[in-house]
Chain A
Amino acid sequence: MPSLGADMEAGTLVKWLKRPGDTVRRGDIIAVVDTDKGAIEIEVFEDGAIDTLQIEVGQKVPVGTVLAVIRGALSGNSASAAPPTPPAPAAREPQPARLLVSPAARKLAADRGIDLAAVRGTGPQGAITHEDVERAAGATGQAAAPAPVRGGADRASAMRAAIGAAMARSKREIPHYYLSSTIDMNATLAWLRAENERRPMPDRLLPVVLLIKAVATALHEVPELNGYWTSGALQQSPAVHVGCAISLRGGGLIAPAIHDADRKDLSTLMRDLRDLTGRARAGTLRSSELADSTITVTNLGDRGVDATFGIIYPPQVALVGFGRIAERPWVAAGRIEARSLLTATLSADHRASDGHRGGLLLDAIGRRLQTPETL
């Protein structure tokens, strides 16, 4: 069971999308897991073939539990469907003399009149699982009935509790410092208006895409704000994966990552953000999108907020917030002018950086937004 964020402690298997013997490639979706933040598609991280499925539909297991064992196609080694990877069995255990049968499998066998002694177990130590009975009953080709996914008030309540726990942990453990900076957005918006004028409707950009790109590339100048604080030390990340805080309709939020945001052009970033937003709200995010953000960007400008002072999402070490872009008086070259201004804020971990370096990041973001054509 992969950790899909600091606010996740366990997940419930909703359904398997693969069966033992199926070939899988890195990135394939193998299962759907229900978490406090919604149903998440679980990807595999190795090429190979499914050896055993270790968890049954409906089972809730803590983060770190092995979901499935995958036998590598070339090496013959085993790997878990989800990191971290505890040691996998080198070979299937011999069938024990006394049958190990999960309660759900026993009930299903009784319901369908299946002789358990004739069922080949694929669970831990050869235990007979719900799926083994399904297969024995001739239900091949069809996945086990999916477990119900929580919804409505139950989901909202669980999500609030998860967010609360993660943010309390962040405030308790991370010595935050906060900085803010006002950015002149006149040049940025003028360029964006002209750019959108020439683009077909489906390819038009939102201002937030320029902000994400500016943050992602600015991190090249201040790399200690991009990464994780783990085991008492900063782990800088060579890749920039920007977690984008997305509010969910009905309450709550989730921050899936746009991977390698610093290397993508604006059109690709816009497509990625649209896709992520749609899937976040539809509950079809993938595990890799929730597990590896190296920094988070939150933009509350749509709701008229002037400035956002966020709480860092552990184990990340920084969060950049943006407020609304609004016309305000601005002094330039000794004259007061009406300009489109934006307040950018930085919440950062004092264990990983200090205010001087944080200020350099905000400055780098502001500079990049003055030359939007280079983003």
Chain B
Amino acid sequence: MEKKEVIVPIGPYHPLLEEPEFFKLFCEGEKVVGIDWIAGYNHRGIEKISEGKSYDQVPFLVERICGICSTSHPLAYVNAVENLVGLEIPERAKYIRTFIAEMERIHSHLLWVGLAGHFLGYNTVFMWAWKWREPTLDIMELVTGNRGNYGIMCPGGVRRDMSEEDFPFVQSKLDDIKTKVEMLTKAVLDDPVLLARLKGVGILTAQDIHNYGAVGPVARASGVAIDVRRDDPYAAYNMLDWEMVVVTEGDMLARAKVRLLEIFQSIKIVEQCMARLKEIKGDIVVKVREVPPGEGIGHAEAPRGECFHYVRSDGTNRPIRHKIRAPSYVCIPTFEKSVVGGQIADALICLAGVDPCYCCTERLSAVAENGKTLDGETLLRLSVEKTEALKAKGTPV
């Protein structure tokens, strides 16, 4: 008897996804036998817009790529520009950048824990994790003036200095977060029902990680020790004492573990940053007078993995090419390995497990017709032709 496949659509609008995205799960009964990913619902042409902005304006633009990791993109971008110019930034600015980046990691990981709970139908964890995430936003508001997009990175340093008077408040909030996350970690690792849902689900081996080129917590949960903060240190990471969290199991539980344990490392880094910022005085920014022709690359370890920016300059005050690769872009293809063969219920937590961020990912949309990819000029020609045809008919355009 021939088995009949059913397509279970996850998306384009689905409670599992915070953003529009489309996964087709090919299922036989409850078993997933195949997956297809259709992207392009979120394309906003950021790279193209970036070519029309001056170097100082671009951080504000790339910050708006993603609301969750809104400082990783500017950080990677300023790293790229500084790499292009060959600039060394003041030490104080380095620590401030590290502080912001790590606070963002804390908030992003707590956000993920909450969402993962929600996807498992555990709404209490969702609400609690998000409540405990609030102090990080308060800290950000105090330090940068914003709760969401911090607007603090600029080529050559940071825009806003930190005041020592704020540190006691920050410290008290951090202590608060620490005790709460300790409790949460214990609760997650002890709950038999959660373990039943997470353990041994969506396993990715180290070989799979290499094959797909996955990065970030997903790779570190499979025993692949990659972290831009250690492998190619930027900001102040090589001057601080911290450890990379690596777990070898490669299942969903390991991914949750890596993220929860990274919160503690981030708290440790933030505390060290505050201690160093009390000692180091001086400028927070070096004026970038001129950007010479050439190319620069910069990356930053976003909460989801390596975020990569490439900038090319022709000597004017605007980049002529700005290429962005977000971590989710390389993590999403691993679904082929982790989802297929499992049940629908497991598939969905696997989709959430890499913490995919679709608005980060979609830099390019290719339009295909009859199996042939259409390029920009063809699309423009087609569009003009259609307009002409409509005009000829006399239909209002």
Do these two chains interact? no
Chain A interface residues toward B at CB < 8 A? none
Chain B interface residues toward A at CB < 8 A? none
